[in-house]
């Protein structure tokens, strides 16, 4: 398939001099997602400074994360790593009593080769709290890939699903069922009319979705699948560490985010799960394709999906009028770029360039195929996909292309705005609710915000607000 | 290893980058892994900078870890040289590069052969110095580099200007109200008929640094950054410097008197400068702070307890202003500049009950909770501690949020600065007083309106016991309870609210 794609889509690779967040930023959303966790970032002041500034006010809410700040004695091994970490973890246990401590390895622990994976099991038995190690460092990963490393590490901790169905397995399944049912107001003995297809759930192998989502979005996606009589038996990560789904041979898994390739690999290779490779449920087109793919794997015929998608597009009409024919440039920093670009092309936009930190062509194969088909259907040229982009070169290209919108990091947003280019901060897409049918509007709300704001400023004659372009090249 | 949730001063490279990017046409290249260029975000967001921050990274990735940077750093330097044609490129080490122990100086030497720009390696050790110390060093290093260069090229002009002139040293990007302070200082020197020779590093050009010795003296407004440079210039060029921060009425006068002494030393005999009448005029009539101290408003603040915490400059000055100029009792004054503890202690000695030197915010929080002051003057962290404890806080020092980069004119230094500080202090305390009075008198009713109008005369009367009962309820839910009770009473046609009615309402609501 990938050969097929490369014939039409162009892939490039630049220098990798681009701006993105450090992957340790994943603690910001994961600690909120996994309610009984504590994240300990083993790193230096640099990491701490990044976290405290990037997360702004969150730091004042007594978060369940902290830095284990390495000092000169730790670097030169005058202090014993194990004893130091034990001291800190005991303090965390005393103060917060979490169900799991997640150690985030950083660049520094990599360079000094601190054996976090080796120490964790020993310390775990000594203090009686599970310790999960994730190496989310800037040497290897970018921004959202941090979540990928954490979830991949956590996948090892999921209970084994026994085919005989022992007690533990069953309670977990039931728990998951109950959780889902409590979210549904319709549950009354299975005879409420509107629940139609929900009441005859088809028998299918267990399905576990991986990727952290805000809980409302998670239940929205479950509901969409239930409409097709598919039962989600668990999620990675679960709301609590103690509720991790059981995995094993015969469990089907499906990703909800494009940056989870390590997790997908771990689930397939180490936990013997079957991966459903689907486009990601971003935008109505993506959501439909995602559900269709899952249904096709389970041999279920979809019901009313096309209508549902159509209905969603209807509700987006006002925003679509705004974006149609406008051009976008993704500078690339969070790996959501391909899916977002595909959705925006379907909305009638023209995408010039998709910068992306890292592209796993196998994990994103279905998404890439969908994008290719979308381009054909919308009769727009295929965008160039630039892996490891070079921000300097991108800005030169942007000068020539003059896109209507640049989706970019915060380091470049204000300078680009001052040069008359509309920008949208890419980070917002990682924190906003963008998955499923229901949230398609939110994506467009974000994308159109600079366009709407600048519509009202247009007539004031202030588009370029720099004194003069320093050395025009 | 230490458990840390928050820090006051950032890592060393931030200081270097702040100095480098404050100069015009200077580019910094960090030897750092992906994601460490967060400085660009801060500068672009907090300062609302219109230009691209002149900082890029020479990325340290797996390959670098395995084989060393090799050509990468040199290539990145020469590439930047071609693209941006900067005057100077500063190679900036980070925590990562300091443990990799690559020979960065060697890269710099190699790169400077091929590039037109000057190239230097910032001389900072990540594990020994913090952001502020690093900034101080880097500024001195850059100044020394260019003065040495000028001396070698014999372009160094050591003659001083005809008219009295000054360099302002230590104004830089992401500094607390630095832009406004700079404007105020320029105005002050202009009033004194002193020319500004150079302001560094903000907006300065490295090519002009060789003219630094032309000034009569150096003014170092902030303790944290610029002092090393001033000392270097004094040692090598005999330039005197004034390091008294002109913050508050008394210290501003003191600063001007010191300037007067230095200026008169160099002035020709027939022309001596006397700034006393200027000081008098400014103190009494331009600054409102002296008058404010006499006014009845300020009388009400007498003996009120306050806690001060921040960087050494601002915390020391603020402590002196509160104690000396406003009669406020400073229960505790503290700083996170541990490296400058001695100076700080000496400055605030006699102006406060207790001195706290720490960079652990929980210690500061505990101290505030223990003292229970009427107001706090601190950083954004203390503002949040204040929020939790219900104590008002005025922000007087970094670390700061975007709100502390106001668009309007808000200096802390000079005579206009005294006005700003008086407002800040007064507003913090009145808010505290108002809050306190509200607590005593059971709150005013604006939050608790149940009809659309603001008028409070309703047809319902609360008897004495029920009012007592209502006042026992914690402030933050009281309004709601009152509203619910009245709603219940109205629905049931009850005109007099008794304790029984309150309970009935509560039960009705729970049912």
pLDDT at B441: 63
Query: Where along chain B do the CATH 3.40.50.1980 domains lie?
Result: 12-129, 165-286, 290-441
- How far apart are alpha carbons B251 and B418 in whole angstroms? 10
Q: Rounded to an integer, what is the distance from CA A320 to the centroid of its chain?
A: 25
pLDDT digits (tens, 9 = 90+) for B47-89: 888 999 999 999 999 888 888 888 899 999 999 999 999 999 9
pLDDT at B22: 96
Report the run of H or E that residue B242 belongs to, with start and end.
strand B241-242
Report CB contact under 8 Å: B94, A17: no
The CATH code for residues B12-129 is 3.40.50.1980
B433 labelled binding-site residue = yes
Report CB contact under 8 Å: B7, A107: no
The CATH code for residues B461-510 is 1.10.8.550
Q: Mutate which of B1, B39, B98 to disrupt the A interface (most A C-beta within 10 Å)?
A: B1
Which residues 111-150 of chain A have a CB within 8 Å of chain B? 111-112, 137-143
- How far apart are alpha carbons B181 and B170 in whole angstroms? 11
Report CB contact under 8 Å: B61, A139: yes
- How far apart are alpha carbons A440 and A424 in whole angstroms? 16
What's the mean per-residue pLDDT of chain B?
89
A273 labelled binding-site residue = no
Going from the N-terminus, what domains does chain A have, and what CATH number goes with each?
Answer: 23-141 (3.40.50.1980), 202-298 (3.40.50.1980), 305-460 (3.40.50.1980)
pLDDT digits (tens, 9 = 90+) for A372-422: 999 999 999 999 999 999 999 999 999 999 999 999 988 999 999 999 899
Q: Mutate which of A136, A414, A425 to disrupt the B interface (most B C-beta within 10 Å)?
A: A414
Whether cis (ω within 30° of 0) applies to the bond prior to B201 is yes
Q: Mutate which of A138, A394, A467 to disrupt the B interface (most B C-beta within 10 Å)?
A: A138
pLDDT at B403: 84
Report CB contact under 8 Å: B38, A50: yes
Residue in B6, B36, B57 nearest the CB of A52: B6
pLDDT at A226: 92
Residue A346 above 90 pLDDT? yes
Residue B412 above 90 pLDDT? yes
Residue in B60, B85, B127 nearest the CB of A139: B60
Give the residue from chain B lying closest to A84, CA to CA: B1
- How far apart are alpha carbons B241 and B218 in whole angstroms? 4
What's the mean per-residue pLDDT of chain A?
87
Instruction: Output the 3-class SS for A177-192.
Output: HHHHHHHCCCCCCCCC
Report the run of H or E that residue A83 belongs to, with start and end.
helix A81-96
pLDDT at A63: 76
Which span out of B273-287, B438-452, B458-472 was modeled with the highest average pLDDT? B273-287
Residue in A138, A409, A466 nearest the CB of B34: A138
Which span out of A7-11, A170-174, B452-456 was modeled with the highest average pLDDT? A7-11
pLDDT digits (tens, 9 = 90+) for A195-251: 444 445 668 899 999 999 988 899 999 999 999 999 999 999 999 999 999 999 999
- How far apart are alpha carbons B58 and B241 in whole angstroms? 38
Whole-complex ipTM: 0.86
User: Which is catalytic among the residues B297, B353, B366, B390?
Assistant: B297
- How far apart are alpha carbons A465 and A446 in whole angstroms? 23
Confirm or reject contact between A104 and chain B (CB < 8 A): no
pLDDT digits (tens, 9 = 90+) for B5-31: 888 999 999 999 999 999 999 999 999
Residue A472 above 70 pLDDT? no
pLDDT digits (tens, 9 = 90+) for A276-334: 999 999 999 999 999 999 999 999 999 999 999 999 999 999 999 999 999 999 999 99
Report CB contact under 8 Å: B384, A60: yes
Q: Which residues of B fall within a CB distance of 8 Å from A413?
A: 44
Confirm or reject contact between A20 and chain B (CB < 8 A): yes
Identify the band that residue A193 occupies on the pLDDT scale cut at 50, 70 and 90. Answer: very low
What is the rounded average pLDDT of the residues A11-23? 92
Comparing A276-290, B78-92, B331-345, B443-457, the range with the smallest average pLDDT is: B443-457
CATH of B165-286, one of 2.30.130.10, 3.40.50.1980, 3.90.76.10, 3.50.50.60: 3.40.50.1980
Q: Which residues of B fall within a CB distance of 8 Å from A471?
A: 84-85
A107 labelled binding-site residue = yes
C-beta neighbour count of A83 within 10 angstroms: 10
Confirm or reject contact between A304 and chain B (CB < 8 A): no
pLDDT at A150: 97
Identify the band that residue A473 occupies on the pLDDT scale cut at 50, 70 and 90. Answer: very low
Token pair 């991790």 is found at A244
Residue B215 above 90 pLDDT? yes
Identify the band that residue A60 occupies on the pLDDT scale cut at 50, 70 and 90. Answer: low
Q: Where are the alpha helices (DSSP H) in A228-275?
A: 261-269
pLDDT at B123: 92
Is the dihedral angle over the CA atoms A354, A359, A363, A365 positive or is it negative? Answer: positive
CA distance, residue A452 to nearest chain B CA (Å): 21
C-alpha separations of B399 from A53, B186, B365 in Å = 10, 25, 16
Residue A362 above 90 pLDDT? yes
The SS3 assignment for A385 reads: strand
Pairing verdict, β B118-121 and B165-171? unpaired
Could you tell me the fold of the domain covering B290-441?
Answer: Rossmann fold (3.40.50)
pLDDT digits (tens, 9 = 90+) for B109-153: 999 999 999 999 999 988 889 999 999 999 999 999 999 999 999
Secondary structure (DSSP) of A307-351? HHHHHHHHHTHHHHHHHTT-EEEE--SSS-HHHHHHHHHHTT-EE
Residue in A60, A69, A142 nearest the CB of B34: A142
In sequence order, the 6+-apart residues with CB closer than 8 A to the CB of B115 are: B77, B78, B81, B89
Confirm or reject contact between A93 and chain B (CB < 8 A): no
Q: What angle do CA A421, A423, A429 make, to 5 degrees?
A: 165
- Answer with the residue of higher pLDDT: B410 or B464: B410
Report CB contact under 8 Å: B3, A68: yes
- How far apart are alpha carbons A429 and A439 in whole angstroms? 12
Query: Is B191 considered catalytic here?
Result: no
Contact B135, B16 (CB under 8 A): yes
Q: Which residues of A fall within a CB distance of 8 Å from B6?
A: 48, 52, 59
Tokens of B272: 């001596």
pLDDT at B483: 81
Residue A185 above 50 pLDDT? no
Q: Which residues of B fall within a CB distance of 8 Å from A392?
A: 56, 83
- How far apart are alpha carbons B411 and B408 in whole angstroms? 10
Residue in A112, A138, A140 nearest the CB of B36: A138
């Amino acid at each position: 398939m990938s050969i097929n794609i490369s014939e039409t889509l162009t892939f490039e690779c630049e220098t990798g001099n681009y701006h993105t967040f450090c992957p340790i930023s994943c603690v910001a959303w994961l600690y909120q997602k996994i309610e009984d966790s504590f994240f300990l970032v083993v790193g230096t002041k640099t990491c701490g400074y990044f976290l405290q500034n990037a997360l702004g006010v969150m730091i004042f809410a007594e978060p369940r994360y902290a830095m284990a700040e390495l000092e000169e004695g730790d670097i030169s091994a005058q202090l014993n790593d194990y004893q130091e970490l034990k001291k800190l973890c005991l303090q965390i246990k005393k103060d917060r009593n979490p169900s799991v401590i997640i150690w985030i390895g950083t660049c520094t622990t990599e360079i000094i080769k601190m054996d976090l994976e080796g120490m964790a099991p020993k310390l775990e038995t000594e203090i009686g709290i599970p310790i999960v190690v994730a190496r989310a460092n800037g040497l290897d990963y970018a921004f959202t890939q941090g979540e990928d490393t954490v979830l991949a590490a956590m996948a090892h901790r999921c209970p084994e699903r026994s085919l005989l169905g022992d007690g533990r397995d069953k309670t977990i399944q039931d728990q998951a069922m109950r959780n889902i049912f409590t979210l549904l107001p319709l549950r009354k003995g299975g005879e409420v009319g509107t629940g139609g297809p929900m009441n005859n759930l088809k028998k299918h192998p267990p399905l576990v979705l991986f990727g952290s989502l805000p809980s409302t979005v998670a239940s929205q996606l479950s509901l969409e699948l239930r409409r097709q009589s598919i039962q989600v038996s668990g999620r990675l990560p679960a709301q609590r560490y103690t509720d991790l789904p059981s995995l094993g041979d015969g469990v089907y898994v499906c990703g909800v985010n494009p940056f989870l390739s390590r997790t997908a690999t771990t689930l397939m290779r180490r936990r013997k799960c079957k991966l459903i490779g689907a486009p990601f449920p971003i935008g109505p087109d993506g959501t439909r394709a995602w559900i269709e793919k899952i249904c096709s794997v389970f041999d279920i015929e979809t019901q009313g999906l096309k209508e549902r998608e159509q209905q969603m597009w209807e509700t987006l009409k006002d925003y679509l009028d705004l974006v149609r024919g406008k051009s976008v440039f993704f500078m690339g920093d969070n790996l959501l770029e391909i899916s977002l670009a595909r959705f925006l092309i379907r909305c009638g936009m023209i995408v010039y360039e998709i910068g992306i930190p890292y592209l796993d062509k196998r994990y994103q194969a279905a998404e890439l195929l969908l994008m290719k088909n979308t381009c054909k259907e919308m009769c727009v040229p295929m965008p160039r996909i630039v892996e490891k982009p070079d921000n300097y070169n991108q800005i030169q290209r942007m000068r020539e292309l003059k896109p209507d919108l640049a989706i970019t990091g915060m380091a470049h947003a204000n300078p680009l705005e001052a040069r008359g280019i509309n920008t949208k901060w890419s980070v917002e897409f990682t924190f906003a609710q963008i998955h499923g049918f229901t949230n398609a509007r939110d994506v467009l709300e974000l994308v159109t915000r600079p366009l709407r704001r600048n519509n009202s400023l247009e007539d004031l004659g202030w588009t370029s607000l720099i004194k003069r372009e320093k050395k025009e090249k | 290893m230490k458990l840390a949730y928050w820090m006051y001063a950032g890592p060393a490279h931030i200081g270097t980058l702040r100095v480098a990017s404050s100069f015009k046409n200077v580019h910094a290249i960090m030897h750092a892994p992906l994601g460490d260029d967060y400085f660009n975000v801060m500068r672009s967001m907090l300062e609302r900078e219109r230009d691209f921050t002149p900082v890029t990274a020479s990325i340290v990735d797996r390959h670098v870890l395995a084989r060393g940077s090799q050509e990468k750093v040199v290539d990145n330097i020469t590439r930047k040289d071609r693209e941006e044609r900067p005057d100077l490129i500063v190679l900036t080490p980070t925590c990562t590069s300091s443990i990799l122990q690559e020979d960065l100086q060697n890269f710099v030497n190699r790169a400077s052969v091929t590039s037109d720009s000057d190239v230097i390696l910032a001389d900072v050790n990540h594990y020994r110095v913090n952001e502020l110390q690093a900034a101080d060093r880097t500024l001195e290093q850059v100044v020394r580099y260019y003065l040495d260069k000028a001396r070698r090229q014999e372009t160094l002009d050591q003659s001083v200007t005809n008219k009295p002139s000054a360099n302002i040293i230590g104004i830089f990007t992401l500094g607390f109200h630095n832009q406004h302070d700079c404007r105020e200082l320029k105005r002050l020197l202009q009033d004194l008929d002193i020319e500004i020779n150079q302001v560094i590093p903000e907006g300065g050009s490295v090519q002009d640094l060789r003219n630094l010795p032309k000034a009569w003296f150096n003014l170092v407004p902030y303790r944290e950054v610029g002092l090393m440079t001033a000392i270097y210039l004094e040692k090598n060029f005999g330039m005197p410097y004034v390091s008294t921060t002109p913050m508050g009425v008394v210290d501003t006068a003191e600063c001007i008197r010191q300037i007067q002494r230095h200026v008169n030393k160099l002035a020709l005999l027939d022309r001596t400068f006397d700034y006393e009448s200027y000081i008098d005029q400014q103190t009494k009539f331009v600054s409102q702070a002296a008058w404010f101290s006499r006014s009845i408003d300020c009388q009400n603040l007498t003996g009120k307890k306050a806690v001060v915490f921040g960087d050494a400059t601002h915390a020391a000055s603020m402590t002196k202003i509160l104690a000396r100029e406003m009669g406020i009792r400073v229960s505790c004054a503290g700083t996170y500049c541990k490296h400058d503890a001695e100076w700080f202690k000496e400055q605030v000695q006699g102006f406060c009950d207790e001195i706290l030197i720490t960079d652990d915010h929980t210690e500061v929080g505990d101290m505030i909770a223990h003292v229970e002051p009427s107001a706090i003057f601190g950083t954004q962290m203390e503002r949040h501690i204040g929020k939790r404890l219900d104590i008002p806080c005025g922000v007087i020092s970094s670390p700061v949020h975007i709100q502390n980069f106001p668009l309007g004119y808000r200096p802390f230094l000079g005579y206009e600065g005294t006005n700003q500080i008086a407002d800040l202090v007064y507003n913090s305390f009145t808010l505290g007083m108002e809050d306190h009075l509200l607590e005593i008198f059971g709150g005013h009713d604006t939050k608790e309106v149940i009809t659309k109008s603001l008028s409070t005369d309703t047809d319902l009367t609360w008897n004495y016991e029920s009012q007592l009962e209502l006042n026992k309820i914690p402030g933050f839910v009281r309004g709601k309870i009152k509203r619910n009770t009245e709603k219940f009473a109205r629905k049931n046609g009850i005109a007099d609210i008794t304790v029984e009615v309150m309970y009935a309402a509560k039960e009705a609501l729970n049912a």
